[in-house]
C-alpha cells in the first residue's frame, strides 16, 4: 500500500476552531460520555444479574447496551481529547482502524435492533409459539449473526477506504474518520466508489429501517383486538423501540443515503447516532419499563433486595 498512500496522518478539523466553543464542547461531551458509560453499564449489570437475562427482549437489550458502549467509544474519547489538543491529528492506521471499528459496532447495533423488533413481533403476533421460536439458542444465533453482519458491513467500508490513493491534502472536515470525508481526499475518481458506499451503508440502513417500520405496523394492527390493558403494555414497549430506531436511523440515513458528498450539517447529524442515541437509549428503555426499574432497584437499592 506504500505506493498508493503518500500521507501518514490526517488532521481532524472537528467542530470549531474557536477555543471557547471547544472548551464548551469538551465539558458537554465529557458529561455525555460519562452518562453513556454509567447508563449502559447500569443496564448491562442490572439485566445480567437478574432473572430478566432469561427473557429474549432483555437479553437483546443487554447486547444493545454493550454495542452502544463499544460504538461510541470508537469516536467519543478521541473527540474529547482533540477538543483540548493543539493539533488534532490521527495516524493513517489509526484512521482506518477507527473507520472499521465504528462501522463494525454500528452494524451490530443495526442488526440487534432488527432482532429486538422480531422479538416483539413474535411476542405480540404469535404469543403461543413465542417460547419455541425465541429459544435461548436462537437468541445466541441472532446475536452471532448480528456480529457477522456487522463485520461484513465494516469490512466492505474498510476495503473501499484502504485501497484509495491519498496524495494530499490530509485535512478531514469531521471529528472522526468516515468514508465520505475520506473520498474527498482521494486523488482519483471516486464516483463509482461512492455508489458502493451508498449500497453498503445507505441502502442497508434504508431497507432495515423500512423492515422495522413494517414490523411495527403489523404489531399495531395486531394489538387492535387486544384488551385495553394488554394493548397499553404492548404499545408502551414498542414505543420505546420505535423511539430508539428513529433516533438512530433518521440521521444515519440523512448522511449515507444521498450521493457521496459531505455537508456542514453532517457533523451535527453524526452526533445523534454516535453520542446522543447511546446516551438516551438506557433512559428510553428504563423510564417507561417497570421490569427494568424493579431490576435496578433490587440490585442497587438494599431495601428492594428482600
pLDDT digits (tens, 9 = 90+) for 159-211: 989 988 888 788 988 899 999 889 888 888 888 888 888 888 888 889 999 99
Percentage of the chain modeled with pLDDT above 70: 96
Residue 47: pLDDT over 90: yes
User: What would the mean pLDDT of 122-139 be, rounded to a whole number?
Assistant: 92
Assigned domain for 94 exists: yes
Round to whole Å and give the CA distance between 121 and 127: 9
Mean per-residue pLDDT, 30-46: 95
Q: What is the helix, strand, coil percentage profile of the chain, to 5?
A: 75, 5, 20
pTM: 0.90
Three cell numbers written together for 171 = 485535512
* Structural domain count, the chain: 1
pLDDT higher than 50, residue 111: yes
Give the structural domain span for 252. Answer: 9-291
d(CA 193, CA 214): 31
> Considering the domain boundaries, does residue 23 fall inside one?
yes
Residue 299 placed within a domain:
no
Q: What is the pLDDT at residue 243?
A: 86
Does a structural domain hold residue 286? yes
DSSP 9: E
**Cβ–Cβ < 8 Å for 193, 139:** no
Mean pLDDT of 60-73: 96
Q: What mean pLDDT value characterizes the chain?
A: 88
pLDDT of residue 3: 41
Once rounded to an integer, what is the mean pLDDT over residues 252-266? 81
Question: What number is the average pLDDT over the span 15-33?
Answer: 89
* Range of weakest confidence among 40-44, 120-124, 236-240: 236-240
- Which grid coordinates are listed for 24? 464548551
Query: C-alpha grid cell for residue 185?
Result: 481526499
Interior/surface letters 131-155, b for 16+ CB within 10 angstroms, e for the rest: eeebeeeebeebbeebbebbbebbe
Angle of CA points 41, 42, 48, to nearest 5°? 85
Q: What is the CATH number of the domain that holds 44?
A: 1.20.1070.10
Amino acid at each position: 500500500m506504500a505506493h498508493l498512500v503518500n500521507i501518514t496522518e490526517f488532521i481532524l478539523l472537528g467542530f470549531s476552531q474557536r477555543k471557547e466553543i471547544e472548551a464548551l464542547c469538551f465539558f458537554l461531551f465529557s458529561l455525555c460520555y460519562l452518562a453513556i458509560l454509567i447508563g449502559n453499564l447500569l443496564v448491562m449489570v442490572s439485566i445480567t444479574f437478574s432473572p430478566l437475562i432469561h427473557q429474549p427482549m432483555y437479553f437483546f437489550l443487554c447486547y444493545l447496551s454493550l454495542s452502544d458502549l463499544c460504538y461510541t467509544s470508537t469516536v467519543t474519547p478521541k473527540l474529547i481529547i482533540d477538543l483540548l489538543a493543539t493539533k488534532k491529528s490521527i495516524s493513517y492506521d489509526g484512521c482506518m482502524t477507527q473507520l472499521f471499528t465504528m462501522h463494525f459496532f454500528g452494524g451490530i447495533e443495526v442488526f440487534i435492533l432488527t432482532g429486538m423488533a422480531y422479538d416483539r413481533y413474535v411476542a405480540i403476533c404469535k404469543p403461543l409459539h413465542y417460547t419455541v421460536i425465541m429459544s435461548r439458542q436462537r437468541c445466541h444465533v441472532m446475536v452471532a449473526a448480528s456480529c457477522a453482519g456487522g463485520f461484513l458491513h465494516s469490512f466492505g467500508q474498510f476495503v473501499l477506504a484502504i485501497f484509495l490513493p491519498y496524495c494530499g491534502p490530509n485535512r478531514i472536515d469531521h471529528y472522526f474518520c468516515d468514508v465520505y470525508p475520506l473520498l474527498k481526499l482521494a486523488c482519483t475518481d471516486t464516483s463509482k466508489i461512492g455508489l458502493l458506499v451508498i449500497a453498503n451503508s445507505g441502502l442497508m440502513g434504508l431497507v432495515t429501517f423500512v423492515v422495522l417500520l413494517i414490523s411495527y405496523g403489523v404489531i399495531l394492527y395486531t394489538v387492535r383486538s387486544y384488551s385495553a390493558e394488554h394493548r397499553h403494555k404492548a404499545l408502551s414497549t414498542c414505543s420505546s423501540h420505535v423511539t430508539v430506531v428513529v433516533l438512530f436511523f433518521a440521521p444515519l440515513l440523512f448522511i449515507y443515503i444521498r450521493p457521496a458528498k459531505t455537508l456542514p450539517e453532517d457533523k451535527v447529524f453524526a452526533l445523534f447516532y454516535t453520542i446522543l442515541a447511546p446516551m438516551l437509549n438506557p433512559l428510553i428503555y428504563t423510564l417507561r419499563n417497570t421490569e427494568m426499574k424493579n431490576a435496578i432497584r433490587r440490585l442497587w437499592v438494599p431495601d428492594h433486595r428482600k
